[in-house]
Amino acid sequence: MGVYNIAVIKGDGIGPDVVNEELKVLGRIGEKFGHTFNFTDVLLGGAAIDATGGPIPEETIEICKNSDSVLLGAVGGPKWDHMPGELRPERGLLGIRSALGLYANLRPAVIHKALASASPIKPEIIGDSLDILVVRELTGGIYFGEHGYRSGKYGEEAYDIENYSEFEIKRIARVAFESAMKRNKNVTSVDKSNVLESSKLWRKVVIEMSKDYPEVELNHMYVDNAAMQLVRNPKQFDVILTSNIFGDILSDEASQITGSIGMLPSASLADGAFGLYEPIHGSAPDIAGQNLANPIATILSGAMMLRYSFGLEQEAKVIEDAVEEVLNNNIRTGDIADENSVRVGTREMGQAVLDAIG
Ligand code: IPM
Ligand code: MG
């Protein structure tokens, strides 16, 4: 029985809609298992810009740092699209990852049996299941390298530098190998080492690290090939280990293969047990506040938090089983509904998960 202090960034768009359901589910788990979850709301992204003039208030960083973990809905929206780069909501997201040292982003792409038909991939390729874990490096590479403008041969130029240190590669590779040991013991490291120096170092360090994990089969793949293989034969993958930018792109692709981006949670982890948990989907401003969003990705992110930050495996499993039960009962929000489904809204879906938890 524990007491856990959790910073909550509901964020923009559908963020508050889906996080509210997640908090109810965690509240129920607390009652059932005798844990106390203390939630503290903090601002980030567009909501922070509106309230404070900037996307990442100092107070937010402080409260997050003093918490046991962080939950996040989504940030961004057209309202802030005209803002200069430094002041965009996305900068808040990159900033908080960096400030909290969240270098390891785990993005599972899983197909739930009941939703297999939602995948855009042919049934003979996808079968009735898929379980890929994308391990994306989250605080280095081109998103955090030097950015700038200079005058060049043809006038103004802009540049962004891809930069990786051995240290950064090692620590993310370690996470991938450790994850693989708990899964199917297969790591595909994705790079572009036929062109990029940073990728050559990436590959060298990953090979070095693989010696610590003789049971894990390691393959290397160029990113262009990986993008193709994900569609051609996604079942060949277990853990995909890759850089910040490649992971950003491939995790969107992997999530779409499951056919239901509204179902996929993610964890961003620092050293130790600290983590930030958010759905993979964005803020979907067009359906915000209308009881339309699918809260399952966010509810499952709460389950990931229980597992990775608090070591509450049983409690995490109770949430995951409840979601599975709701799906098997054909209860669906609009994004995953078909003609046979009981169509529900965000709150009803949250309630259905609560009912299934019992
Ligand atoms: C993601 C998003 C972010 C990223 C954006 C919003 C900055 O695309 O979490 O994948 O690129 O990391
Ligand atoms: Mg992305």
Residues with CB under 5 A from ligand 2 (ion): 248
Kindly state the helix (H) or strand (E) to which residue 86 belongs, with its residue range: none
Note the pLDDT tens digit of each residue in 210-247.
999 999 999 999 999 999 999 999 999 999 999 999 99
Note the pLDDT tens digit of each residue in 30-62.
999 999 999 999 999 999 999 999 999 999 999
pTM confidence score:
0.95
The response to whether residue 248 sits with its C-beta less than 6 Å from ligand 1 reads yes
Contact indicator for 36, 69 with CB cutoff of 8 Å: no
DSSP assignments along 1-32, one per residue: --EEEEEEEEESTTHHHHHHHHHHHHHHHHHH
Please work out, in degrees rounded to the nearest 5, the angle formed at the alpha carbon of residue 316 by the alpha carbons of 176 and 56.
70
pLDDT at residue 127 in the model: 86
Give the ligand with the smallest distance to the CA of 76. 1
Which residue's CA is minimally distant from atom 8 of ligand 1?
248
Does the active-site annotation cover 222?
no
Amino acid identity, position 315: E
Note the pLDDT tens digit of each residue in 276-299.
999 999 999 999 999 999 999 999
Q: Active-site residue among 103, 248, 277, 308?
A: 248
Ligand 1 pocket mutation, candidates 56, 248, 281, criterion most atoms within 8 A of CB: 248
Give me ligand 2 centre to Cα 355, in Å: 33
Residue 1 has pLDDT above 90, yes or no: no
Give me ligand 1 centre to Cα 98, in Å: 13
Give me ligand 1 centre to Cα 249, in Å: 9
Which residue's CA is minimally distant from atom 1 of ligand 1?
248
pLDDT at residue 113 in the model: 85
Note the pLDDT tens digit of each residue in 64-114.
999 999 999 999 999 999 998 889 999 999 999 999 999 999 999 999 888
The response to whether residue 245 sits with its C-beta less than 6 Å from ligand 1 reads no
Give me ligand 1 centre to Cα 280, in Å: 9
Please work out, in degrees rounded to the nearest 5, the angle formed at the alpha carbon of residue 167 by the alpha carbons of 166 and 170.
80
Does the active-site annotation cover 224?
yes
